[in-house]
A and B are shown apart, each in its own frame.
Chain A
Amino acid sequence: MQTLDLSEIGLREVNKTLHAQAENTNQTAWTIENARGSHAIACGLDAPIEVTVKGSTGYYCGGMNQQATINVHGSAGPGTGENIMSGKIVIEGDASQYLGATGHGGLIVVKGNASSRCGISMKGVNIVVQGNIGHMSAFMGQSGNLVVLGDAGDALGDSCYEARFFVRGSVKSLGADCEKKEMRPEHIEFLKEILAEAELDADPSEFTRYGSARNLYNFDVDNAGAY
């Protein structure tokens, strides 16, 4: 286990050290101490390493992540996991707004609640939230899955494309062109897998699926008011 003290060596040194890890590095376990809400911790990693961040993080922790597993032992600030490509981010506390924005792949797990705009413009990332999510989540979501064990706020999936949303609790309101959909066996199967991967316990049959009604895909003058 390698330990990096952020308050001692600073952010550039921490991230440079992690970026220097090659595909086949033997130093696979890293701990970052004294996060103290700093921005851009463990951004742009591209190696199969596991990084544990002690404390809460600020903006953009784990942004653009590839391959790495990042555990935040605290809460995470705005834009955590933005544009994640692969790998995994696990947040023990809450996540602030626009978690996993534009993420292309990988998995983000939040043990607490996620704030507004969770998964905005998601492009393939899977996001699992044990608590609730805020308003305008998955706005313009294109691909990937947003799984919520609690409740969703206003305007879920507004103007979404082919991203899928599974909510166990209530949805305060659905966004434009987002609708409730039937749960087919493949969806139950998917939830079983993703919940196992997220190490969360929930009954897949209790979830409701939501997704695009596909009415806003092409311009239709009757929908002009909705654009």
Chain B
Amino acid sequence: MCGIVGLFLKDKALEPQLGAMLTDMLITMTDRGPDSAGIAIYGDESEGKAKLTVQSDTPEEDFDKLKGALKKEIKGDVDIKVNSTHAVLEIRADQVAAARAALKEIRPNVRVMSRGDTLEIYKEVGLPKDVAARFNVSAMAGTHGIGHTRMATESAVTTMGAHPFNTGDDQCLVHNGSLSNHNSLRRKLRRDGVHIETENDTEVGAAYLTWRMNQGATLGEALESSLEDLDGFFTFVVGTKDGFGVVRDPIACKPAVMAETDQYVAFGSEYRALVNLPGIENARVWEPEPATVYFWSHTTPTPSEKAA
């Protein structure tokens, strides 16, 4: 089991409440995944700047004087917002690689959770309500976001095993299910030079998508080919800068419910997660079809479903 929630806002007036709505949905999914929880939130953007969300088990030491130290290393502007065990570093977009390399040197225990223009990922071990409170997720604003509650099956309960996983700039993946060919796929991807940190199955799924996109595939194409190349059970929800996508394996054992109104598109592992959303009584509620890739985007003129 695991719980997934997602919310894509069409109505700008709801943006300040995104974190609060997602928090409520996430906590409802606690009994599907009490081990750890995480949230990917797409917030504001500063021209020419990129965000690196980083994590440390010893934030007092690692984040202390990090701003100055990193500034000195990359010789560019650094802004830092510390939030519990996480910190969001805002740097010049062209200095992301330099900053990552510098971090490895000056703060070897700091791990990168995500990178992108608007994406921030927060995840930790613990009950969803505690994780959400730790990061004060309910105060966060944004255009769309994805949350995950984990019941670990394939690997240890650790921060790095929690979801969402960052797959590329402003892209993230959450997963309900279990992949059965992750060991062989991990070996194959590592041979191709892909960095995979843990023994977690979903990280392999995320690395697979990144690898396919590095070969030139679009996210949609990468999801399509995942239906061929990944063996096991999955309902995936992926976040992009513009929106989110959903795909389920052809057997579709893992539950998924979607709801759409004029104000939002929402995803939940169960209908329960959606019951407090405004106007849910009159929303169009349906289950996404197996082996079909769905996308909602802020940049397409009409929110649309793309059939596989």
Contacts and interface: CB of A to CB of B under 8 A. Distances in A.
B32 to A, nearest CB: 11
Contact of A77 (B253, B270, B275, B286): B270
Contacts of B273: 37
Given A97-B255, A116-B252, A56 B271 contact: yes
Interface centre among B253, B271, B274 (most CB of A within 10 A): B271
Interface in A103-140: 115-116, 134-136
B290 interface: yes
A42 B181 CA distance: 40
B271 A77 contact: yes
Interface string A75-98: 101100000000000000110110
B275 A96 contact: no
Interface centre among A38, A56, A136 (most CB of B within 10 A): A56
B287 A96 contact: yes
A78 B275 contact: no
B115 to A, nearest CB: 36
Contacts of B251: 136
Contact of B275 (A36, A93, A135, A136): A36
Interface string A57-73: 01100000000000000
B272 interface: yes
Contacts of A115: 287
Interface centre among A37, A94, A96, A97 (most CB of B within 10 A): A37
Contact of B272 (A36, A97, A136): A36
Nearest to B274: A37
A96 B286 CA distance: 9
Contacts of B287: 94, 96-97, 115
Interface in B125-178: none
B286 A97 contact: no
B290 A116 contact: yes
B285 A75 contact: yes
Interface string B14-41: 0000000000000000000000000000
Nearest to B272: A37
A77 B270 CA distance: 8
A150 to B, nearest CB: 15
B252 A97 contact: yes
B290 A58 contact: no
Interface in B260-308: 270-275, 285-287, 290
Contacts of A78: 255
Contacts of B270: 37, 58-59, 77
B290 A38 contact: no
A37 B255 contact: no
B252 A58 contact: no
Interface of B: 251-253, 255, 257, 270-275, 285-287, 290
Given A77-B271, A93-B285, A97-B253, 8 more contacts: A36-B275, A38-B272, A75-B271, A77-B255, A78-B255, A96-B257, A134-B252, A135-B252
26 contacts: A36-B272, A36-B275, A37-B272, A37-B273, A56-B271, A56-B285, A59-B270, A75-B285, A77-B255, A77-B270, A78-B255, A93-B285, A94-B287, A96-B257, A96-B287, A97-B252, A97-B253, A97-B255, A97-B287, A115-B287, A116-B252, A116-B290, A134-B252, A135-B252, A135-B290, A136-B251
